[in-house]
Amino acid sequence: MSVIPTISVIVPIYNAEQYLKESINSILAQIFKDFELILINDGSQDNSLNICKEFEKIDSRVYVYDVKNGGVSAARNFGLKHANGLWVCFIDSDDLVDSNYLSNLYGDVIKGTNIELVVHGIEFFDLGNNTRESKMPSGDFVYYDLDTKSKVLNNVPLICLSSPVSKLFKRSVINSNNLCFDNRISIGEDYLFVMQFIFYISKMSSNSIASYISYRRSGTLSSSYNSFEEESLAEKLIFDQTIMTFCRIGYDKEEINSFYIQEYRKHAYRMLYSLYKNKVKDYNYKERVDKVRSIRSNQIKRIKLMFSQNGLNGKILAILFSKALFPLFDKLLMNLVKRKI
């Protein structure tokens, strides 16, 4: 590419033929024209690749890559390696963006000084219930100098930081710090990437604009889980990076520890539910007990506190867990899994 585009839009694609044309059309209809569109076909088994190639023929800004299926993180990382823009923007292949999506994001770059991250809101559309809900930062345009200990969470809801979409990332920050999506985990990897990025920057902005439409098409919660090892690793990585990032930008460690336990208490259940129903194997009683015993000491404290935030059953589990009363703990958790899943 002879001319460097202002923005690289990265779209990972897997078996998305039903929604892909509409999604790509919404991107190409942007008022802001100075972008390249990188479509990564992640080993789709449907007609997604052919759809992408048709768009590549008619618009010189479109670049199509066909890769072996490796998951959304691997696809996004591939897109980052092939991005040429000064800024990077992520869009999911089954979502839509308004025609002013990129112009709104880049408009905030111009408003601030040395901005490295722009955060906007997301409009969630639940097709099952036919309902819309917007989650967005407060304030029309808020500028943060993170070196002066700005309180980002006062304005930006955590859900707006838990996904790479509806944001502009300065690509030089990604390159200079070798940032990528962690493909060892498939829960919380989006949030982890955003937290790692914020750790390395000094200036960012947020705005109460939601020109990204995220569709919830079927069930909101998974009925199966990843391996215990993956769930445990995800909880550790998310916790450690949350503490590091928010302490770096001025929050007290205990304040963030309390915030984490409140916001991520579901991870206590995810980690332990994975011993009863997951995508990998069925554990017997001895294996379940051995896995619980293997949880490192600082995770035990967090999990106990997270359980205690989840009503009476959670408080009972917290007591049994902390006292290593595994037979009773296992029996209660088994009953909860059967009721909830």
Residue-wise pLDDT for 209-226, tens only, equals 999 999 876 543 345 688
In the chain, where are the structural domains located?
7-216, 228-340
Alpha carbons 120 and 127: distance in angstroms, whole number? 22
In this structure, the number of other CB atoms found within 10 A of the CB of residue 58 comes to 8
Cα–Cα–Cα angle for 281, 286, 291, rounded to 5 degrees = 65
Which residues, 6 or more positions from 225, have their beta carbon under 8 angstroms from its beta carbon? Answer: 231, 270, 273, 274, 277, 278, 279
* pTM for the structure as a whole: 0.92
Alpha carbons 106 and 103: distance in angstroms, whole number? 5
pLDDT value, residue 92: 96
Among the ranges given (5-14, 171-180, 213-222), the one the predictor scored with the smallest mean pLDDT: 213-222
Cα–Cα–Cα angle for 296, 297, 302, rounded to 5 degrees = 100
CATH number of 7-216: 3.90.550.10
* Strands across the sheet containing 131-135: 96-97, 212-216, 122-126, 131-135
Is the pLDDT confidence value at 328 over 70?
A: yes
Alpha carbons 189 and 192: distance in angstroms, whole number? 5
